Amino acid sequence: AQSVTQLDSQVPVFEEAPVELRCNYSSSVSVYLFWYVQYPNQGLQLLLKYLSGSTLVKGINGFEAEFNKSQTSFHLRKPSVHISDTAEYFCAVRVRMDSSYKLIFGSGTRLLVRP
Amino acid sequence: DAGVTQSPTHLIKTRGQQVTLRCSPKSGHDTVSWYQQALGQGPQFIFQYYEEEERQRGNFPDRFSGHQFPNYSSELNVNALLLGDSALYLCASSLLAGAFTDTQYFGPGTRLTVL
Protein backbone atom coordinates (compact mmCIF):
# COMPACT_ATOMS: atom_id res chain seq x y z
CA ALA A 1 0.00 0.00 0.00
CA GLN A 2 1.16 3.49 -0.73
CA SER A 3 1.95 5.78 2.18
CA VAL A 4 3.60 9.06 3.07
CA THR A 5 5.88 9.74 6.03
CA GLN A 6 6.69 13.15 7.39
CA LEU A 7 9.20 12.46 10.12
CA ASP A 8 9.30 15.96 11.59
CA SER A 9 6.15 16.98 13.42
CA GLN A 10 7.51 20.47 14.05
CA VAL A 11 10.37 22.47 12.57
CA PRO A 12 11.37 25.71 14.31
CA VAL A 13 13.49 28.12 12.30
CA PHE A 14 14.51 31.74 12.50
CA GLU A 15 13.28 34.27 9.98
CA GLU A 16 15.41 34.52 6.80
CA ALA A 17 17.02 31.13 7.48
CA PRO A 18 16.69 28.25 4.99
CA VAL A 19 14.38 25.36 5.74
CA GLU A 20 13.81 21.80 4.54
CA LEU A 21 10.69 19.82 5.34
CA ARG A 22 11.16 16.11 4.78
CA CYS A 23 8.75 13.77 3.02
CA ASN A 24 9.27 10.10 2.17
CA TYR A 25 6.82 7.92 0.29
CA SER A 26 6.33 4.25 -0.37
CA SER A 27 5.00 3.21 -3.73
CA SER A 28 5.58 0.42 -6.19
CA VAL A 29 4.03 2.23 -9.14
CA SER A 30 4.27 5.60 -10.85
CA VAL A 31 4.41 8.37 -8.29
CA TYR A 32 2.65 11.68 -8.31
CA LEU A 33 3.45 13.92 -5.35
CA PHE A 34 2.06 17.11 -3.89
CA TRP A 35 2.79 19.60 -1.14
CA TYR A 36 -0.07 21.55 0.44
CA VAL A 37 0.05 24.30 3.06
CA GLN A 38 -2.58 24.91 5.69
CA TYR A 39 -2.61 28.25 7.48
CA PRO A 40 -4.35 28.42 10.88
CA ASN A 41 -8.10 27.85 10.64
CA GLN A 42 -7.99 27.52 6.86
CA GLY A 43 -8.21 24.80 4.22
CA LEU A 44 -5.37 23.38 2.15
CA GLN A 45 -3.59 25.42 -0.51
CA LEU A 46 -1.58 23.71 -3.24
CA LEU A 47 2.11 24.70 -3.06
CA LEU A 48 3.52 22.53 -5.83
CA LYS A 49 3.22 19.17 -7.54
CA TYR A 50 5.35 16.60 -9.32
CA LEU A 51 3.69 14.62 -12.09
CA SER A 52 6.56 14.08 -14.50
CA GLY A 53 9.52 15.81 -16.11
CA SER A 54 12.12 17.79 -14.18
CA THR A 55 12.72 16.42 -10.70
CA LEU A 56 13.11 19.96 -9.32
CA VAL A 57 9.70 21.52 -8.98
CA LYS A 58 9.09 25.16 -8.20
CA GLY A 59 5.96 26.31 -6.45
CA ILE A 60 4.34 29.39 -5.02
CA ASN A 61 5.76 31.63 -2.30
CA GLY A 62 9.37 30.73 -3.16
CA PHE A 63 9.10 27.04 -2.26
CA GLU A 64 10.60 24.22 -4.28
CA ALA A 65 10.83 20.46 -3.94
CA GLU A 66 13.01 17.77 -5.42
CA PHE A 67 11.74 14.34 -6.40
CA ASN A 68 14.34 11.67 -5.65
CA LYS A 69 13.23 8.27 -6.87
CA SER A 70 16.20 6.33 -5.46
CA GLN A 71 15.62 7.74 -1.99
CA THR A 72 11.82 7.78 -2.35
CA SER A 73 11.77 11.35 -1.11
CA PHE A 74 10.12 14.63 -2.04
CA HIS A 75 11.59 17.19 0.37
CA LEU A 76 10.29 20.76 0.42
CA ARG A 77 12.79 23.63 0.63
CA LYS A 78 12.85 27.39 0.88
CA PRO A 79 16.10 29.39 0.93
CA SER A 80 14.82 32.16 3.20
CA VAL A 81 11.62 31.91 5.26
CA HIS A 82 9.33 34.67 6.46
CA ILE A 83 7.16 34.92 9.54
CA SER A 84 4.16 34.50 7.23
CA ASP A 85 5.37 31.00 6.28
CA THR A 86 4.34 29.74 9.72
CA ALA A 87 1.79 27.04 8.91
CA GLU A 88 1.20 23.30 8.67
CA TYR A 89 2.67 21.61 5.60
CA PHE A 90 1.33 18.35 4.19
CA CYS A 91 2.97 16.04 1.71
CA ALA A 92 0.61 13.83 -0.30
CA VAL A 93 0.82 11.05 -2.87
CA ARG A 94 -1.84 10.56 -5.52
CA VAL A 95 -3.11 7.00 -5.55
CA ARG A 96 -4.99 5.32 -8.37
CA MET A 97 -8.49 4.01 -7.56
CA ASP A 98 -10.01 2.29 -10.61
CA SER A 99 -10.77 5.22 -12.91
CA SER A 100 -9.84 8.11 -10.64
CA TYR A 101 -7.43 9.20 -7.93
CA LYS A 102 -7.40 9.95 -4.24
CA LEU A 103 -4.76 11.65 -2.12
CA ILE A 104 -2.98 10.00 0.79
CA PHE A 105 -1.52 12.55 3.17
CA GLY A 106 1.30 12.51 5.64
CA SER A 107 0.67 13.58 9.21
CA GLY A 108 1.97 17.08 8.55
CA THR A 109 4.90 19.24 9.65
CA ARG A 110 4.34 22.44 11.55
CA LEU A 111 6.77 25.13 10.41
CA LEU A 112 7.30 27.70 13.14
CA VAL A 113 9.21 30.78 11.98
CA ARG A 114 10.62 32.92 14.76
CA PRO A 115 11.80 36.54 14.50
CA ASP B 1 -12.52 32.80 -10.77
CA ALA B 2 -14.26 31.42 -7.69
CA GLY B 3 -12.41 28.71 -5.84
CA VAL B 4 -13.93 25.87 -3.87
CA THR B 5 -16.50 27.09 -1.37
CA GLN B 6 -17.96 25.28 1.61
CA SER B 7 -20.79 25.96 4.03
CA PRO B 8 -21.27 26.35 6.86
CA THR B 9 -17.92 27.42 8.28
CA HIS B 10 -18.60 26.02 11.72
CA LEU B 11 -21.21 23.68 13.09
CA ILE B 12 -21.99 22.35 16.56
CA LYS B 13 -24.14 19.26 16.97
CA THR B 14 -24.89 16.76 19.71
CA ARG B 15 -24.39 13.01 19.62
CA GLY B 16 -26.98 11.13 17.61
CA GLN B 17 -27.92 14.08 15.44
CA GLN B 18 -27.52 14.32 11.69
CA VAL B 19 -25.57 16.92 9.75
CA THR B 20 -25.31 18.10 6.13
CA LEU B 21 -22.27 19.90 4.77
CA ARG B 22 -22.19 21.60 1.40
CA CYS B 23 -19.53 22.20 -1.24
CA SER B 24 -19.39 24.11 -4.51
CA PRO B 25 -16.47 23.12 -6.74
CA LYS B 26 -14.04 25.43 -8.46
CA SER B 27 -15.47 26.84 -11.67
CA GLY B 28 -15.11 24.32 -14.49
CA HIS B 29 -14.47 21.34 -12.23
CA ASP B 30 -16.70 18.27 -12.35
CA THR B 31 -15.42 16.03 -9.56
CA VAL B 32 -15.76 16.46 -5.80
CA SER B 33 -13.87 14.56 -3.12
CA TRP B 34 -14.48 14.76 0.62
CA TYR B 35 -11.84 14.39 3.32
CA GLN B 36 -11.97 14.31 7.11
CA GLN B 37 -9.15 15.97 9.04
CA ALA B 38 -9.06 15.15 12.73
CA LEU B 39 -7.16 17.50 15.01
CA GLY B 40 -3.41 17.15 14.56
CA GLN B 41 -3.67 14.73 11.64
CA GLY B 42 -3.55 14.75 7.88
CA PRO B 43 -6.79 14.57 5.86
CA GLN B 44 -8.35 11.14 5.30
CA PHE B 45 -10.28 10.33 2.10
CA ILE B 46 -14.01 9.74 2.64
CA PHE B 47 -15.41 9.43 -0.89
CA GLN B 48 -15.50 10.97 -4.35
CA TYR B 49 -18.38 11.99 -6.60
CA TYR B 50 -18.41 12.26 -10.37
CA GLU B 51 -21.39 12.40 -12.73
CA GLU B 52 -23.68 12.40 -9.68
CA GLU B 53 -22.43 9.01 -8.53
CA GLU B 54 -20.13 7.87 -5.77
CA ARG B 55 -17.05 6.55 -7.54
CA GLN B 56 -14.80 5.52 -4.72
CA ARG B 57 -15.02 5.29 -0.96
CA GLY B 58 -12.46 5.31 1.81
CA ASN B 59 -12.63 3.42 5.08
CA PHE B 60 -15.67 5.21 6.51
CA PRO B 61 -18.94 3.68 7.76
CA ASP B 62 -22.26 3.94 5.96
CA ARG B 63 -23.26 6.73 8.35
CA PHE B 64 -21.30 8.91 5.94
CA SER B 65 -23.15 9.47 2.70
CA GLY B 66 -23.14 12.05 -0.03
CA HIS B 67 -24.73 13.43 -3.10
CA GLN B 68 -23.69 15.35 -6.20
CA PHE B 69 -26.07 17.62 -8.04
CA PRO B 70 -26.26 18.35 -11.80
CA ASN B 71 -24.35 21.62 -11.24
CA TYR B 72 -21.50 19.53 -9.72
CA SER B 73 -22.02 20.84 -6.18
CA SER B 74 -22.05 18.22 -3.47
CA GLU B 75 -23.32 17.42 -0.01
CA LEU B 76 -21.83 15.28 2.73
CA ASN B 77 -24.30 13.80 5.21
CA VAL B 78 -23.37 12.20 8.49
CA ASN B 79 -26.01 10.34 10.51
CA ALA B 80 -26.00 9.28 14.17
CA LEU B 81 -23.12 11.59 15.03
CA LEU B 82 -20.42 10.36 17.40
CA LEU B 83 -17.96 12.39 19.41
CA GLY B 84 -15.23 11.02 17.14
CA ASP B 85 -16.83 12.67 14.13
CA SER B 86 -15.58 16.04 15.38
CA ALA B 87 -13.16 17.22 12.72
CA LEU B 88 -12.52 19.62 9.88
CA TYR B 89 -14.30 18.38 6.76
CA LEU B 90 -12.60 19.37 3.55
CA CYS B 91 -14.02 19.36 0.08
CA ALA B 92 -11.71 19.15 -2.91
CA SER B 93 -12.60 19.61 -6.56
CA SER B 94 -10.83 18.52 -9.72
CA LEU B 95 -11.39 18.29 -13.45
CA LEU B 96 -11.48 15.04 -15.40
CA ALA B 97 -10.93 12.74 -12.45
CA GLY B 98 -8.43 10.11 -13.45
CA ALA B 99 -6.69 12.26 -16.04
CA PHE B 100 -2.92 12.57 -15.80
CA THR B 101 -3.21 16.21 -14.83
CA ASP B 102 -5.81 15.49 -12.13
CA THR B 103 -5.08 17.94 -9.32
CA GLN B 104 -7.33 18.49 -6.33
CA TYR B 105 -8.04 21.99 -5.04
CA PHE B 106 -9.39 22.35 -1.54
CA GLY B 107 -11.99 24.55 0.06
CA PRO B 108 -11.66 26.24 3.46
CA GLY B 109 -13.42 23.41 5.25
CA THR B 110 -16.30 23.05 7.71
CA ARG B 111 -15.36 22.65 11.36
CA LEU B 112 -17.81 20.15 12.95
CA THR B 113 -17.93 19.85 16.72
CA VAL B 114 -19.98 17.04 18.25
CA LEU B 115 -20.87 17.46 21.93
From the list B58, B98, B105, the residue facing A101 with the nearest CB is B98
Residue of A nearest to B95 (CA): A100
Are residues B90 and B80 in contact, defined by beta-carbon separation less than 8 angstroms?
no
Q: Do the chains contact at A101 and B102, CB–CB below 8 Å?
A: yes
Are residues B66 and B75 in contact, defined by beta-carbon separation less than 8 angstroms?
yes
Question: Please, which residues have CB within 8 angstroms of residue A72's CB and are 6 or more apart in sequence?
Answer: A24, A25, A26, A27
Per-residue pLDDT tens for A22-60?
Answer: 999 997 677 899 999 999 888 899 999 998 888 999 999
What integer pLDDT is reported at residue A57 of this predicted model?
96
What stretches in chain B show pLDDT beneath 50? none
List residues of A whose CB lies inside 8 A of any B CB. Answer: 4, 34, 36, 42-46, 49, 51-52, 90, 92, 94, 97-108
Per-residue pLDDT tens for A82-105?
Answer: 999 999 999 999 888 777 788 999
Rounded Cα distance between A91 and A23, Å, is: 6
Query: Which of A27, A30, A90 lies closest to B35, judged by CA?
Result: A90
pLDDT tops 90 at residue A1: no
From the list A43, A90, A92, the residue facing B109 with the nearest CB is A43
What integer pLDDT is reported at residue B102 of this predicted model?
78
